[in-house]
Structure 1
Amino acid sequence: MKPEILFLKQEDVIKAGLLDMKMVLAETEKTFKMIGQNQIINPTKVFMGMPSNENWDSYCMSMPAYIGGDVDTAGFKWAAESKANAQLEGVPYGIDIVILSDPKTVFPKAILDGTITTAMRTSATAGVMAKYNALKGTKVACLVGAGVIGRTMIMAMMEAVPTLEKIHMVDLVKEKAEGLAKEFDGKIKVIPYTDVKEAVKDAQLLVTETTSRKPFIKKEWLKPNMTVIQMEGQSCEEDILLTADRVVLDNWSQMSHLVGILVHEMYEAGKLKKEDIVELPEMVNGVQVRQNEDQFVYCGSAGVGSVDIAIAAKLYENAKKMGIGQKLNLWDNPLWV
């Protein structure tokens, strides 16, 4: 038997619908619901920093998952980032791939570019958090970080928070924020900033998507009943999490043990326990987080591989119907069977 693998380069996954944020949001929420219903196996990601986990210049990370139910697919995402790439013209900071396998035969069935999927699902996870926890009638959001995920975060917030009227986009390089303002002109008003304190002043919703390794956002800058969504490890000072009325995390077992992020540091210091938080799968399956309009809600995510696998499975099915991608074989005649 000669198993067939469908190879989908970045242009192929885009043709298959990857930039459809409405679809990605739906798949993301469905995946978290399935996690909460025990239909998904989602082991903790394995992180390998080089030269070390604490002081990495580059890293590789393995994120396996099995999606049951109507998806019935196994796979893993190989996520990697390098500081050196920031100095290379035309090269992404992060380079990711996804491999899908048949769960019965374990034959590999698809290899997909996962780089843009990472940006889309990261923002979609924040979108799901915002959908459930943003204040009613939220009109102003402050987004911190105008990189690739800054772009997809605008897309996600536009879909998830339909009352949104303007976005304050913050970046140390103002030209990057200005570029996104131009890109979304006519779709939503995006105002560029370089100062978080000034940008967040009128916002009801704060979303961070930076590469910072040090906290820089202070609790006193924030409204007492706003929603904060932190999509990386270190932008918020710990008081923001410590004083929150409600805390939502995408995956407690992973975030409490992932070196280099705020949640892990607070867990190790005895300042945060599992009973202090609600997990995202619980939330989308009916546990109410925001109970009134006066509460301060903190949401955090480090990303779960099952969301990447679920989206990749959807793109794979779309690609097959559309007849796109390149067909490969792992062998012609397997040796020593």
Structure 2
Amino acid sequence: MKEWQILMLNQQDVINTGLLEDMTGVLEKVETVFRLHGMEQVENPPKTMITLNDPETGDWMSKFIAMPVYIGGKINRPGIKWAAESMTNARTRELPMGIDMVILSDPVTVEPKAIIEGTLITAMRTAAATGIAAKYLARKNSEIVGCIGAGVIGRTVIQALVEVFPGIRKVKLFDIYKEKAEKIAEEFQGRVNVEVANSLQETVSESDIMATMSTSTRPLVKKEWLKEGYLITQLGANEVEARIVTDSDMIVVDDWEPIKHNHLSVFYPLIKEGKIRDDHIKLLRHIVCGKIPARISEGQNILYSSRGMGCLDIIVADHIYKTAIEKGLGYNFKMWDKPYWI
């Protein structure tokens, strides 16, 4: 008799697959899914989001986001990421600001095959996407990285960029909470020199590659601070001033539609004013699969902006699922002994 079981993987199971020590593998998976997406073998429809606002202030309090995906090719995996964010958690620090789950399904019978804690997957794949963007868009001789934001993603972005550019000799890290930056600098001792910066300008002005991953709702990075030939990767919606968008020689994004329609994004007013059009935007997946060229000169100034795509989570989760089976991790949940109605 067939066993109808779902493999349940909690956060410790995910850690035990070796995910956090395998940025090389995550980078490879993320690059693969960008390439497959560029070759039209991935279905990654727009996210569906519900926002709950604080009744007193009117500011957003929590968000719930559904991200369905199908990855074709040899992966052949449908799945969905359920992502949620809480400003209460960010304030109290009793729980992660983002709490995510991933469900993987069988492509033929549609049975759910695994339910996986997704918070660490999010942290690793987000950083890996930045790493892949830098691989194609940064100057090959880049030596100094600037990072704004010393949260979870700040840590993994440093990990990814050092992996992609082993010649990096210094990381300038800034956070308004200096002790958080100091903690990350200590973690990277012996691997790369992470120097805690005293100001935003100091962080930006020295950097060949600039990465922003903050929760700021206002622009942080000014155009005049950036080196000529820069790559700046923006993981938030509104961390760079408008002049960086309009003056960059090349604008690359992971997924344009959700960025284009995000009214909190730096792009939104520029689109309304006619200063940015669809034909100004390049998709990273088309660069990775070779449909359009990457950086073409040392002096080219490039902005990469990311909204995050579910296909990155699903390809990493699929690998975790297969690894967990090999290692005997997790436990099985039986949905039914026999389906009641067929």
Give the TM-score taking structure 1 as reference length: 0.96
AA paired with 2:5? E
1:41-56 aligned within 5 A: 41-51=43-53, 55-56=59-60
**How far is 1:219 from its partner?**
0.5
Structure 2: segments with no counterpart, 5+ residues: none
Q: Residue 137 of structure 2 corresponds to which residue in structure 1? A: 133
Q: Residue 108 of structure 1 corresponds to which residue in structure 2? A: 112
CA distance in 1, matches of 2:294, 2:4: 46
In percent, how many aligned pairs have the same letter?
Answer: 40
AA paired with 1:9? N
**How far is 1:46 from its partner?**
1.1
* 3-state SS of paired residue (2:98): coil
CA distance in 2, matches of 1:25, 1:83: 29
Q: Aligned in 2, Cα 1:13/1:238: closer, same or farther, shift over 3 Å? A: same
Q: 2:308 aligns with which of 299, 303, 307?
A: 303
* 3-state SS of paired residue (1:260): coil
Residues 60-84 of structure 1 deviation map (CA, whole Å, 9 limit, x = unaligned): 1111100111111111101111011
Q: Residue 77 of structure 1 corresponds to which residue in structure 2? A: 81
* 3-state SS of paired residue (1:316): helix
Q: 1:316 aligns with which of 318, 321, 327?
A: 321
Deviates more, 1:60-69 or 1:195-204: 195-204
**How far is 1:2 from its partner?**
4.5
AA paired with 1:233? A
Whether the 8 Å contact between 1:246 and 1:289 is mirrored in structure 2 is no
Q: 1:328 aligns with which of 305, 315, 333?
A: 333
Residues 185-217 of structure 1 deviation map (CA, whole Å, 9 limit, x = unaligned): 011000012411012221111000101111121
1:94-243 aligned within 5 A: 94-243=98-247
CA distance in 2, matches of 1:194, 1:305: 35
Q: Residue 34 of structure 1 corresponds to which residue in structure 2? A: 36
AA paired with 1:313? D
Deviates more, 1:222-231 or 1:84-93: 84-93
CA distance in 1, matches of 2:272, 2:315: 32
Give the RMSD, CA atoms, in angstroms: 1.4
* 3-state SS of paired residue (2:294): coil
Q: Residue 248 of structure 1 corresponds to which residue in structure 2? A: 252
**How far is 1:3 from its partner?**
2.0
Give the TM-score taking structure 2 as reference length: 0.95
CA distance in 1, matches of 2:91, 2:260: 32
**How far is 1:273 from its partner?**
1.6
* 3-state SS of paired residue (2:300): coil
1:276-295 aligned within 5 A: 276-286=280-290, 287-295=292-300
CA distance in 2, matches of 1:206, 1:145: 11
Whether the 8 Å contact between 2:82 and 2:100 is mirrored in structure 1 is yes
**How far is 1:258 from its partner?**
2.8
* 3-state SS of paired residue (2:233): strand
CA distance in 2, matches of 1:29, 1:198: 32
Whether the 8 Å contact between 1:138 and 1:205 is mirrored in structure 2 is yes
* 3-state SS of paired residue (2:205): coil
Residues 86-123 of structure 1 deviation map (CA, whole Å, 9 limit, x = unaligned): 23344111100000011111110000010011111111
Q: Residue 13 of structure 1 corresponds to which residue in structure 2? A: 14
* 3-state SS of paired residue (1:57): strand
